[in-house]
A and B are shown apart, each in its own frame.
Chain A
Protein backbone atom coordinates (compact mmCIF):
# COMPACT_ATOMS: atom_id res chain seq x y z
CA UNK A 1 0.00 0.00 0.00
CA UNK A 2 1.06 3.56 -0.64
CA UNK A 3 3.13 4.68 2.35
CA UNK A 4 2.09 7.78 4.31
CA UNK A 5 5.52 8.30 5.71
CA UNK A 6 8.84 7.37 4.16
CA UNK A 7 12.14 8.15 5.83
CA UNK A 8 15.44 7.11 4.36
CA UNK A 9 18.81 7.34 6.12
CA UNK A 10 17.81 10.20 8.40
CA UNK A 11 20.71 11.60 10.40
CA UNK A 12 20.81 14.27 13.07
CA UNK A 13 23.69 15.34 15.25
CA UNK A 14 23.97 17.83 17.99
CA UNK A 15 26.20 18.39 20.96
CA UNK A 16 26.72 15.06 22.64
CA UNK A 17 24.32 13.03 20.55
CA UNK A 18 23.85 11.71 17.08
CA UNK A 19 21.15 9.72 15.37
CA UNK A 20 22.44 7.79 12.39
CA UNK A 21 20.77 6.47 9.28
CA UNK A 22 17.24 5.69 10.37
CA UNK A 23 14.92 4.43 7.65
CA UNK A 24 11.27 3.58 8.05
CA UNK A 25 8.01 3.49 6.17
CA UNK A 26 4.51 3.67 7.53
CA UNK A 27 1.51 2.57 5.50
CA UNK A 28 -2.17 3.28 6.11
CA UNK A 29 -3.66 0.99 8.77
CA UNK A 30 -0.30 0.48 10.47
CA UNK A 31 0.92 1.12 13.99
CA UNK A 32 4.68 1.34 14.29
CA UNK A 33 6.30 1.25 17.72
CA UNK A 34 9.72 2.83 18.13
CA UNK A 35 11.35 1.25 21.16
CA UNK A 36 14.66 1.80 22.82
CA UNK A 37 16.38 2.55 26.10
CA UNK A 38 16.76 6.06 27.48
CA UNK A 39 18.97 8.14 25.24
CA UNK A 40 18.48 5.90 22.19
CA UNK A 41 17.15 8.78 20.10
CA UNK A 42 13.41 8.08 20.09
CA UNK A 43 12.46 11.69 20.76
CA UNK A 44 14.98 13.05 18.25
CA UNK A 45 13.54 10.73 15.60
CA UNK A 46 9.94 11.74 16.30
CA UNK A 47 10.87 15.42 16.27
CA UNK A 48 12.49 14.93 12.87
CA UNK A 49 9.40 13.15 11.58
CA UNK A 50 7.16 15.88 13.00
CA UNK A 51 9.21 18.58 11.31
CA UNK A 52 10.34 20.19 14.55
CA UNK A 53 13.83 20.53 13.11
CA UNK A 54 15.38 19.45 9.82
CA UNK A 55 17.55 16.37 9.40
CA UNK A 56 21.27 16.85 8.66
CA UNK A 57 21.01 14.22 5.94
CA UNK A 58 18.55 11.75 4.52
CA UNK A 59 15.20 11.94 2.84
CA UNK A 60 11.84 12.41 4.52
CA UNK A 61 8.43 12.44 2.87
CA UNK A 62 5.00 12.53 4.45
CA UNK A 63 2.05 12.09 2.12
CA UNK A 64 4.66 12.30 -0.68
CA UNK A 65 5.70 15.77 0.45
CA UNK A 66 8.89 17.03 2.02
CA UNK A 67 8.63 19.66 4.79
CA UNK A 68 10.42 22.16 2.55
CA UNK A 69 7.66 21.98 -0.02
CA UNK A 70 4.52 21.27 1.98
CA UNK A 71 4.99 22.00 5.68
CA UNK A 72 1.54 23.53 6.03
CA UNK A 73 -0.28 20.56 4.46
CA UNK A 74 1.78 17.98 6.34
CA UNK A 75 1.20 19.63 9.72
CA UNK A 76 -2.50 19.88 8.96
CA UNK A 77 -2.61 16.10 8.49
CA UNK A 78 -0.27 15.07 11.32
CA UNK A 79 -1.27 14.87 14.96
CA UNK A 80 1.95 15.30 16.93
CA UNK A 81 2.17 14.79 20.69
CA UNK A 82 5.54 15.79 22.04
CA UNK A 83 6.81 14.29 25.26
CA UNK A 84 6.73 17.66 26.97
CA UNK A 85 3.69 19.54 25.73
CA UNK A 86 4.78 23.06 24.80
CA UNK A 87 1.61 24.83 25.93
CA UNK A 88 1.30 28.11 27.78
CA UNK A 89 1.05 26.96 31.38
CA UNK A 90 -1.40 29.68 32.42
CA UNK A 91 -3.96 28.88 29.73
CA UNK A 92 -6.81 26.47 30.28
CA UNK A 93 -7.49 23.54 27.91
CA UNK A 94 -10.38 25.49 26.37
CA UNK A 95 -8.21 28.55 25.74
CA UNK A 96 -5.41 26.42 24.32
CA UNK A 97 -7.82 24.69 21.94
CA UNK A 98 -9.24 28.03 20.81
CA UNK A 99 -5.68 29.08 20.07
CA UNK A 100 -4.82 25.89 18.15
CA UNK A 101 -8.03 25.39 16.18
CA UNK A 102 -7.45 28.01 13.41
CA UNK A 103 -4.25 26.25 12.36
CA UNK A 104 -6.17 23.19 11.26
CA UNK A 105 -8.56 22.85 8.32
CA UNK A 106 -10.44 19.93 9.84
CA UNK A 107 -10.72 21.01 13.48
CA UNK A 108 -13.65 19.30 15.21
CA UNK A 109 -14.65 21.09 18.42
CA UNK A 110 -17.27 18.52 19.37
CA UNK A 111 -14.65 15.79 19.19
CA UNK A 112 -12.32 17.85 21.40
CA UNK A 113 -14.92 18.49 24.12
CA UNK A 114 -15.99 14.84 23.95
CA UNK A 115 -12.42 13.75 24.64
CA UNK A 116 -11.96 16.26 27.48
CA UNK A 117 -15.07 14.81 29.01
CA UNK A 118 -14.00 11.23 28.43
CA UNK A 119 -10.59 11.89 30.00
CA UNK A 120 -12.10 13.96 32.81
CA UNK A 121 -9.81 16.88 32.04
CA UNK A 122 -11.04 20.07 33.70
CA UNK A 123 -11.74 22.40 30.79
CA UNK A 124 -11.17 25.54 32.85
CA UNK A 125 -8.18 24.59 34.96
CA UNK A 126 -4.86 26.17 34.09
CA UNK A 127 -2.66 23.78 32.13
CA UNK A 128 0.07 23.96 34.75
CA UNK A 129 -2.34 22.61 37.37
CA UNK A 130 -3.23 19.48 35.41
CA UNK A 131 -1.63 16.21 36.53
CA UNK A 132 1.08 14.64 34.38
CA UNK A 133 -1.39 12.12 32.99
CA UNK A 134 -3.98 14.81 32.23
CA UNK A 135 -1.37 16.87 30.38
CA UNK A 136 -0.61 13.84 28.19
CA UNK A 137 -4.30 13.20 27.61
CA UNK A 138 -4.92 16.86 26.78
CA UNK A 139 -2.13 16.78 24.23
CA UNK A 140 -3.64 13.62 22.73
CA UNK A 141 -7.13 15.16 22.66
CA UNK A 142 -5.79 18.16 20.79
CA UNK A 143 -3.96 15.94 18.29
CA UNK A 144 -7.01 13.75 17.67
CA UNK A 145 -9.42 16.68 17.31
CA UNK A 146 -8.00 18.07 14.11
CA UNK A 147 -8.78 14.75 12.37
CA UNK A 148 -5.22 13.88 11.40
CA UNK A 149 -4.31 11.05 9.04
CA UNK A 150 -1.12 10.27 10.92
CA UNK A 151 -0.41 10.37 14.65
CA UNK A 152 3.13 10.82 15.94
CA UNK A 153 3.12 10.19 19.67
CA UNK A 154 6.24 10.51 21.81
CA UNK A 155 5.86 8.27 24.85
CA UNK A 156 2.12 8.86 25.09
CA UNK A 157 1.64 6.37 27.91
CA UNK A 158 3.90 8.24 30.31
CA UNK A 159 2.01 9.21 33.44
CA UNK A 160 -1.19 7.39 32.45
CA UNK A 161 -3.00 5.08 34.83
CA UNK A 162 -3.93 1.56 33.71
CA UNK A 163 -7.48 2.41 32.68
CA UNK A 164 -6.39 5.38 30.56
CA UNK A 165 -3.55 3.36 29.07
CA UNK A 166 -6.07 0.76 27.97
CA UNK A 167 -8.32 3.48 26.59
CA UNK A 168 -5.33 4.85 24.68
CA UNK A 169 -4.69 1.39 23.20
CA UNK A 170 -8.34 1.09 22.12
CA UNK A 171 -8.30 4.62 20.71
CA UNK A 172 -5.22 3.91 18.61
CA UNK A 173 -6.63 0.61 17.30
CA UNK A 174 -9.87 2.36 16.36
CA UNK A 175 -7.94 5.21 14.77
CA UNK A 176 -6.19 2.89 12.30
CA UNK A 177 -9.10 0.46 12.11
CA UNK A 178 -10.55 1.93 8.93
CA UNK A 179 -7.30 1.16 7.15
CA UNK A 180 -6.71 4.76 6.06
CA UNK A 181 -4.77 6.23 8.95
CA UNK A 182 -1.52 5.34 10.69
CA UNK A 183 0.20 5.76 14.05
CA UNK A 184 3.80 5.98 15.15
CA UNK A 185 4.50 5.76 18.87
CA UNK A 186 7.64 5.70 20.92
CA UNK A 187 7.69 3.84 24.16
CA UNK A 188 9.74 2.05 26.79
CA UNK A 189 7.95 -1.21 25.93
CA UNK A 190 7.08 -2.05 29.49
CA UNK A 191 4.26 0.51 29.46
CA UNK A 192 1.97 -1.78 27.47
CA UNK A 193 1.96 0.16 24.21
CA UNK A 194 3.96 -2.64 22.60
CA UNK A 195 0.65 -4.52 22.57
CA UNK A 196 -0.84 -2.24 19.91
CA UNK A 197 2.23 -2.01 17.67
CA UNK A 198 2.17 -4.21 14.59
CA UNK A 199 5.63 -3.27 13.48
CA UNK A 200 8.56 -2.43 15.71
CA UNK A 201 11.72 -0.44 15.27
CA UNK A 202 14.38 -0.88 17.95
CA UNK A 203 16.78 1.99 18.49
CA UNK A 204 19.94 1.68 20.51
CA UNK A 205 22.36 4.52 21.14
CA UNK A 206 21.35 6.57 18.15
CA UNK A 207 21.17 3.83 15.54
CA UNK A 208 18.51 1.41 14.35
CA UNK A 209 19.07 -2.14 15.58
CA UNK A 210 16.13 -4.01 14.21
CA UNK A 211 12.94 -3.42 12.25
CA UNK A 212 10.39 -6.20 12.14
CA UNK A 213 6.81 -7.31 12.12
CA UNK A 214 6.06 -7.76 15.82
CA UNK A 215 4.26 -11.10 15.60
CA UNK A 216 6.95 -12.56 13.35
CA UNK A 217 9.58 -11.33 15.77
CA UNK A 218 7.85 -12.91 18.75
CA UNK A 219 7.34 -16.17 16.84
CA UNK A 220 11.08 -16.38 16.38
CA UNK A 221 12.35 -15.27 19.79
CA UNK A 222 11.67 -17.73 22.60
CA UNK A 223 13.14 -18.59 25.94
CA UNK A 224 14.43 -22.15 26.03
CA UNK A 225 14.79 -23.61 29.51
CA UNK A 226 16.67 -26.89 29.71
CA UNK A 227 18.05 -29.38 32.13
CA UNK A 228 21.84 -29.37 32.38
CA UNK A 229 23.20 -31.71 29.68
CA UNK A 230 19.85 -32.06 27.88
CA UNK A 231 21.04 -30.12 24.82
CA UNK A 232 24.24 -30.89 22.97
CA UNK A 233 26.89 -28.19 22.88
CA UNK A 234 26.23 -27.03 19.33
CA UNK A 235 22.54 -26.59 20.06
CA UNK A 236 23.14 -24.78 23.34
CA UNK A 237 25.64 -22.51 21.56
CA UNK A 238 22.80 -21.18 19.40
CA UNK A 239 21.17 -19.67 22.49
CA UNK A 240 22.06 -16.22 23.76
CA UNK A 241 21.53 -14.31 26.99
CA UNK A 242 22.38 -17.62 28.63
CA UNK A 243 21.70 -18.04 32.32
CA UNK A 244 22.79 -21.03 34.38
CA UNK A 245 21.46 -21.95 37.77
CA UNK A 246 21.47 -25.15 39.78
CA UNK A 247 17.94 -26.06 38.68
CA UNK A 248 18.21 -25.50 34.95
CA UNK A 249 19.61 -23.27 32.26
CA UNK A 250 17.84 -20.64 30.22
CA UNK A 251 18.76 -18.98 26.96
CA UNK A 252 17.12 -16.85 24.31
CA UNK A 253 16.62 -18.44 20.94
CA UNK A 254 16.43 -15.99 18.03
CA UNK A 255 15.00 -18.39 15.45
CA UNK A 256 12.74 -20.89 17.13
CA UNK A 257 11.10 -22.34 13.97
CA UNK A 258 14.57 -23.34 12.72
CA UNK A 259 15.51 -24.84 16.08
CA UNK A 260 12.32 -26.56 17.14
CA UNK A 261 12.99 -29.86 15.32
CA UNK A 262 16.35 -30.24 17.11
CA UNK A 263 14.64 -29.53 20.43
CA UNK A 264 11.76 -31.97 19.88
CA UNK A 265 13.31 -34.87 21.82
CA UNK A 266 14.28 -32.78 24.84
CA UNK A 267 10.84 -31.14 24.83
CA UNK A 268 9.01 -34.48 24.65
CA UNK A 269 11.14 -35.88 27.48
CA UNK A 270 10.33 -32.86 29.65
CA UNK A 271 14.04 -31.91 29.77
CA UNK A 272 13.41 -28.65 27.95
CA UNK A 273 10.59 -26.11 27.99
CA UNK A 274 9.84 -23.21 25.73
CA UNK A 275 8.40 -19.93 26.90
CA UNK A 276 7.41 -16.88 24.87
CA UNK A 277 9.91 -14.07 25.12
CA UNK A 278 8.52 -10.62 25.75
CA UNK A 279 9.37 -7.76 23.45
CA UNK A 280 11.33 -6.19 26.29
CA UNK A 281 13.46 -9.36 26.67
CA UNK A 282 14.47 -9.08 23.03
CA UNK A 283 14.99 -5.34 23.25
CA UNK A 284 17.14 -5.49 26.37
CA UNK A 285 19.20 -8.30 24.89
CA UNK A 286 19.77 -6.51 21.58
CA UNK A 287 20.41 -3.06 22.99
CA UNK A 288 22.28 -3.91 26.16
CA UNK A 289 23.46 -7.44 25.51
CA UNK A 290 21.65 -8.55 28.68
Chain B
Protein backbone atom coordinates (compact mmCIF):
# COMPACT_ATOMS: atom_id res chain seq x y z
CA UNK B 1 0.00 0.00 0.00
CA UNK B 2 1.20 3.49 -0.90
CA UNK B 3 0.05 6.23 1.47
CA UNK B 4 1.37 9.77 1.73
CA UNK B 5 0.16 12.65 3.83
CA UNK B 6 0.29 16.15 2.48
CA UNK B 7 0.57 18.96 5.01
CA UNK B 8 -0.65 21.42 2.38
CA UNK B 9 -3.78 19.52 1.36
CA UNK B 10 -7.05 21.14 2.40
CA UNK B 11 -8.19 17.70 3.60
CA UNK B 12 -7.48 16.80 7.22
CA UNK B 13 -4.90 14.06 7.78
CA UNK B 14 -7.44 11.43 8.85
CA UNK B 15 -9.43 11.99 5.65
CA UNK B 16 -6.29 11.67 3.53
CA UNK B 17 -5.74 8.26 5.17
CA UNK B 18 -9.32 7.03 4.75
CA UNK B 19 -9.36 8.14 1.10
CA UNK B 20 -6.15 6.33 0.27
CA UNK B 21 -7.04 3.11 2.11
CA UNK B 22 -10.48 3.10 0.45
CA UNK B 23 -8.82 3.62 -2.95
CA UNK B 24 -6.46 0.71 -2.29
CA UNK B 25 -9.49 -1.47 -1.55
CA UNK B 26 -11.46 -0.19 -4.58
CA UNK B 27 -8.54 -0.77 -6.95
CA UNK B 28 -8.09 -4.32 -5.67
CA UNK B 29 -4.68 -3.61 -4.22
CA UNK B 30 -6.01 -4.60 -0.81
CA UNK B 31 -8.04 -7.83 -0.92
CA UNK B 32 -10.90 -8.84 1.35
CA UNK B 33 -9.77 -10.20 4.73
CA UNK B 34 -6.29 -8.77 4.25
CA UNK B 35 -4.81 -7.45 7.46
CA UNK B 36 -4.21 -3.71 7.64
CA UNK B 37 -1.17 -2.25 9.35
CA UNK B 38 -1.66 -1.65 13.04
CA UNK B 39 -2.64 1.86 14.06
CA UNK B 40 0.68 2.37 15.80
CA UNK B 41 2.68 1.10 12.81
CA UNK B 42 0.89 3.36 10.34
CA UNK B 43 1.12 6.39 12.63
CA UNK B 44 4.86 5.87 13.04
CA UNK B 45 5.49 5.43 9.29
CA UNK B 46 3.43 8.47 8.33
CA UNK B 47 4.83 10.57 11.17
CA UNK B 48 1.38 11.35 12.42
CA UNK B 49 -0.42 10.69 15.68
CA UNK B 50 -2.07 7.48 16.80
CA UNK B 51 -5.27 9.48 17.34
CA UNK B 52 -5.31 10.56 13.68
CA UNK B 53 -4.93 7.00 12.38
CA UNK B 54 -7.46 5.74 14.93
CA UNK B 55 -9.95 8.30 13.66
CA UNK B 56 -9.30 7.21 10.06
CA UNK B 57 -9.81 3.52 10.93
CA UNK B 58 -13.01 4.30 12.85
CA UNK B 59 -14.38 6.17 9.84
CA UNK B 60 -13.44 3.32 7.50
CA UNK B 61 -15.13 0.89 9.89
CA UNK B 62 -18.23 3.09 9.95
CA UNK B 63 -18.35 2.97 6.16
CA UNK B 64 -18.08 -0.82 6.24
CA UNK B 65 -14.72 -0.84 4.45
CA UNK B 66 -12.79 -2.48 7.27
CA UNK B 67 -13.55 -4.58 10.31
CA UNK B 68 -11.66 -4.29 13.57
CA UNK B 69 -11.42 -7.31 15.81
CA UNK B 70 -10.38 -6.67 19.37
CA UNK B 71 -6.88 -7.96 19.96
CA UNK B 72 -6.42 -9.08 16.36
CA UNK B 73 -6.29 -5.83 14.42
CA UNK B 74 -8.13 -4.41 11.42
CA UNK B 75 -9.02 -6.29 8.26
CA UNK B 76 -10.41 -5.40 4.86
CA UNK B 77 -14.15 -6.14 4.84
CA UNK B 78 -15.75 -8.33 2.21
CA UNK B 79 -17.38 -5.39 0.56
CA UNK B 80 -19.50 -5.31 -2.60
CA UNK B 81 -17.09 -3.88 -5.25
CA UNK B 82 -19.95 -2.12 -7.06
CA UNK B 83 -20.49 0.04 -3.97
CA UNK B 84 -16.93 1.33 -4.04
CA UNK B 85 -17.11 1.75 -7.80
CA UNK B 86 -20.26 3.84 -7.47
CA UNK B 87 -18.50 6.03 -4.96
CA UNK B 88 -15.49 6.43 -7.23
CA UNK B 89 -17.78 7.29 -10.14
CA UNK B 90 -19.30 10.05 -8.06
CA UNK B 91 -15.82 11.42 -7.29
CA UNK B 92 -15.07 11.38 -11.04
CA UNK B 93 -18.36 13.14 -11.75
CA UNK B 94 -17.38 15.96 -9.39
CA UNK B 95 -13.94 16.24 -11.01
CA UNK B 96 -15.45 16.23 -14.50
CA UNK B 97 -18.02 18.80 -13.48
CA UNK B 98 -15.15 21.09 -12.55
CA UNK B 99 -13.37 20.40 -15.86
CA UNK B 100 -16.55 20.96 -17.90
CA UNK B 101 -17.15 24.29 -16.17
CA UNK B 102 -13.55 25.39 -16.61
CA UNK B 103 -13.71 24.30 -20.27
CA UNK B 104 -16.82 26.42 -20.81
CA UNK B 105 -14.81 29.50 -19.83
CA UNK B 106 -12.42 28.81 -22.69
CA UNK B 107 -15.00 27.62 -25.22
CA UNK B 108 -13.90 24.02 -24.79
CA UNK B 109 -17.08 21.95 -25.19
CA UNK B 110 -17.88 18.51 -23.76
CA UNK B 111 -17.46 17.08 -27.30
CA UNK B 112 -13.89 18.38 -27.33
CA UNK B 113 -13.29 16.74 -23.95
CA UNK B 114 -14.60 13.39 -25.20
CA UNK B 115 -12.25 13.65 -28.19
CA UNK B 116 -9.34 14.39 -25.84
CA UNK B 117 -10.16 11.37 -23.68
CA UNK B 118 -10.39 9.08 -26.75
CA UNK B 119 -7.04 10.43 -27.97
CA UNK B 120 -5.38 9.69 -24.63
CA UNK B 121 -6.83 6.18 -24.60
CA UNK B 122 -5.50 5.49 -28.13
CA UNK B 123 -2.07 6.76 -27.12
CA UNK B 124 -2.01 4.34 -24.18
CA UNK B 125 -3.33 1.43 -26.24
CA UNK B 126 -0.65 2.18 -28.84
CA UNK B 127 2.17 2.24 -26.31
CA UNK B 128 0.96 -0.97 -24.64
CA UNK B 129 0.91 -2.86 -27.94
Chief secondary structure at chain B's binding surface:
loop
**B114 at interface (Cβ–Cβ under 8 A)?**
no
Give Cα A276–Cα B3 distance, bound, in whole angstroms: 17
Q: Which of B6, B7, B42 has the most CB of A within 10 A?
A: B6
- Count of chain B residues with a beta carbon within 8 Å of a chain A beta carbon: 12
CB of A178 closer than 8 Å to a CB of B: no
Stretch of A20-28, A119-127, A243-251 with 4 or more beta carbons under 8 angstroms from chain B: A243-251
Whether A273 contacts B4 by the Cβ 8 Å rule is yes
B86 within 8 A of A: no
The interface size of chain A toward B, counting residues with CB under 8 Å, comes to: 15
For A271, list chain B residues within 8 Å (CB).
2
Q: Are B6 and A275 in contact, CB atoms less than 8 angstroms apart?
A: yes
Q: How far apart are the CA atoms of A206 and B97 in the complex, in Å? A: 55
Asked whether B3 lies within 8 Å of A248 as measured between CB atoms, the reply is yes
Query: Which residues 1-37 in B have Cβ within 8 Å of A in the complex?
Result: 1-4, 6-8, 37
In the assembled complex, which residues on chain B have CB atoms less than 8 Å from the CB atom of A250? 4
A residues 197-236 touching B (CB-CB < 8 Å): 225-228, 230
A2–B42 alpha-carbon span in the complex (Å): 54
Identify the closest chain A residue to B124 (Cβ).
A268
| A34, chain B: closest CB distance, angstroms | 26
**How far does the alpha carbon of A169 sit from the alpha carbon of B45 in the complex, in Å?**
35
Name B residues whose Cβ lies closer than 8 Å to a Cβ of A: 1-4, 6-8, 37, 41-42, 45-46
Q: Measuring CB to CB, which residues of chain A are less than 8 angstroms from any residue of chain B? A: 225-228, 230, 245-248, 250, 270-271, 273, 275-276
What 5 pairs between A and B have smallest CB-CB spacing?
A245-B45, A227-B2, A225-B4, A247-B3, A248-B2
